[in-house]
Chain A
Amino acid sequence: MEVSHAGRIRIGAGAGFSGDRIEPAVELAERGALDYLVFECLAERTIALAQLERLRDPDAGYDPRLEDRFRAVLPACRAGGVKIITNMGAAHPAGAARALVALARDLGFAGLKVAAVEGDDVLAQVLERDLAFVDRPGRISDLDGRIVSANAYLGAGPIVEALAVGADVVITGRVGDPALFLAPMIHRFGWAMDDWTRLGRGTVIGHLLECAGQVSGGYFADPGWKDVADLARLGFPFADVEASGDAVIGKVEGSGGRIDVRTCKEQLLYEVHDPAAYLQPDVTADFTGVCLAPAGPDQIAVSGGAGRPRPTALKATIGYRDGFIGEGQISYAGPGALARARLALEVVAARLKLTGVVTSELRLDIIGVDAVRRGAAQIEAPEPAEARIRVAGRCETLKDAVRIGQEVESLWLNGPAGGGGATRTAREVIAAASVLIDRSLVRPCVSCQVVGS
């Protein structure tokens, strides 16, 4: 097994979202010769949903798969001295740390040091100030009584602090995703928090890794054009990072997937707007000079990233109750399927009107025809062998939302010929909006516990 050099660290990506596969992280922990294993599991609105869970159960509010993931990787990480960093703390990092300590004690890992990073919860600060949204018109007071969470994106600082006191596992709530990866670089290489170039380079590497399999062949295959071997056994990536901030991206030998210039390019610009100004809590990273070069089989050398001073304020995501969405689907097949699907949509729209269902927005799609690219552009599409309609509407009440699916379902007996496979759902919507919050109002804090015997 390759051992990392003093001047180089190997950081693996064990998950790119909360529902991600678990075995690729085990493969990395067992065979990846890692120094650090990072799990990114916190999407934009997940933390608001977790906050609602915590309101229902004071011990909950962290990632529901935390125990499953740690049970799977802890043995190999403990044996190999691999430190773990994750945002699976969601709305309750301290609760997640307590649950992990209990699990580790049961598994016999006495001495494991678990740190929790808190302070991203800025609900009180946000409610005190009537901040304006940055991604839409309006301000906090417009959502009077509907806000359930407000979480600022913390930087790498508190994670570095936890690593400096010897934490084996660091559990956070909301932090910038690349910061989960940047933190071990700052810790091990002693980068200054105003070394914008290195922080920018580290952010490039963190950004390439944060979606795990998306840089190693996931979200990429297009048969005959961009083929990827063995997606069922997709290997998750790691980076060998130098003190300069240059790195090589790779994966465990024999795992599925593909790492080449194309997979890395696609991930480099994933969810990026201005590539010269990728805003993070610790740095404004510049991706425009990044150079990607083959360095071996399934290995890409990354260099040339840059950085400028960090943004003056921190971004915070507001989670709020946004009414209800009701939905129904039903399928048609054979000659005339498209005409029957269109008739079905007309019938549902008319029925919603006749029965007084109030929607502020209604969407009528034919899946396979115009559900993605909408409108006139799709009218000349060839007659499909099958068509499935989908009606989705936004409502003030759950009762109205339920009615939408019921009207689709009733097409079974009352709609066009041959309608089958009706399904329906109705759910409350927890939406997200963003504000900028002054750094002085955000106070991260780190706490540690050691697993007893």
Chain B
Amino acid sequence: MKLRDLAHARAGDKGDTSNIAVFAYEAGDFAFLTEHLTADAVKRFFQDVVTGEVTRYELPGLAALNFVMSGALGGGVTRSLALDPHGKSLSTALLDIDLPDPQPPPSQR
């Protein structure tokens, strides 16, 4: 399963830091996302993009996870060599990350 099946996302930029906020479409999926969409998983997914740390903030009230990725914007929006210096497209790129397929309920196993 892809993250896109469960969530939508928006990216923002400040200096050389990109934040991607990920929102569960259904609040019931927030716990699953919190378990599997870890800061490490996001860091691995963007291993060739993000040179710094990835920090995750949890917002259960909004069923949202906010990933703050330092060193993600080629040295900063104002000096980046990247085609998308703001990293706006990183949000939808992240939706391609693989998540474990949901387990069927016990009665169907």
Contacts and interface: CB of A to CB of B under 8 A. Distances in A.
14 contacts: A44-B15, A135-B76, A136-B76, A225-B4, A269-B10, A269-B21, A271-B14, A275-B59, A288-B59, A290-B61, A365-B83, A373-B90, A375-B47, A429-B79
Contacts of A265: 21, 23, 62, 64
Contacts of B45: 377
Interface in A310-326: 322, 325
Given A271-B19, A273-B68, A288-B61, A372 B81 contact: no
Dominant secondary structure at the A interface: mixed
Interface in B35-69: 45-49, 57, 59, 61-62, 64, 66, 68
Contact of B21 (A226, A272, A291, A322): A272
Interface string A366-388: 01000111111100000000000
A21 interface: no
A363 interface: yes
Contacts of B59: 269, 275, 287-288
B1 interface: no
B15 A392 contact: no
By CB atoms of chain A within 10 A, which of B4, B13, B19, B88 has the most? B19
A373 B49 contact: yes
Nearest to B46: A373
A252 interface: no
A430 B19 contact: no
Contacts of B14: 271, 273
B34 interface: no
Contact of A430 (B49, B66, B78, B81): B78
B54 to A, nearest CB: 12
Contacts of A392: 81-83
Contact of B47 (A273, A365, A377): A377
Contacts of A373: 46, 48-49, 90, 93
B84 interface: yes
Contact of B48 (A45, A220, A290, A377): A377
A57 interface: no
In the A-B complex, list the 8 residue pairs whose CB atoms are closest, starting with the nearest.
A375-B48, A271-B12, A269-B21, A266-B10, A431-B79, A374-B48, A363-B81, A392-B81
Dominant secondary structure at the B interface: mixed
Given A275-B57, A432-B78, A269 B66 contact: yes
A289 B21 contact: no
Nearest to A325: B81
Given A270-B12, A272-B66, A287-B59, 11 more contacts: A44-B15, A136-B15, A136-B76, A271-B12, A273-B17, A288-B61, A363-B81, A374-B49, A377-B48, A392-B81, A393-B81
Interface of A: 44-45, 135-136, 219-220, 222, 225-226, 262, 265-276, 287-292, 322, 325, 361-363, 365, 367, 371-377, 390, 392-394, 429-434
Contacts, number: 126
A367 B83 contact: yes
Contacts of A431: 76, 78-79
Contacts of A433: 15, 76
B8 A371 contact: no
Nearest to B68: A273
By CB atoms of chain A within 10 A, which of B16, B59, B82 has the most? B59
Contacts of B77: 44-45, 432
A215 to B, nearest CB: 11
A379 B48 CA distance: 12
A432 B19 contact: no
A390 B61 contact: no
B10 A135 contact: no
B79 A291 contact: no
B96 to A, nearest CB: 8
A367 B89 CA distance: 13
A222 B8 contact: yes
A361 B74 CA distance: 10
Contacts of A135: 15-17, 76
A262 B26 CA distance: 11
B19 A322 contact: no
A262 B9 CA distance: 10
Nearest to A388: B83
A387 B17 CA distance: 29
Given A265-B23, A275-B59, A219 B10 contact: yes
Contacts of A393: 81
By CB atoms of chain A within 10 A, which of B15, B45, B93 has the most? B15
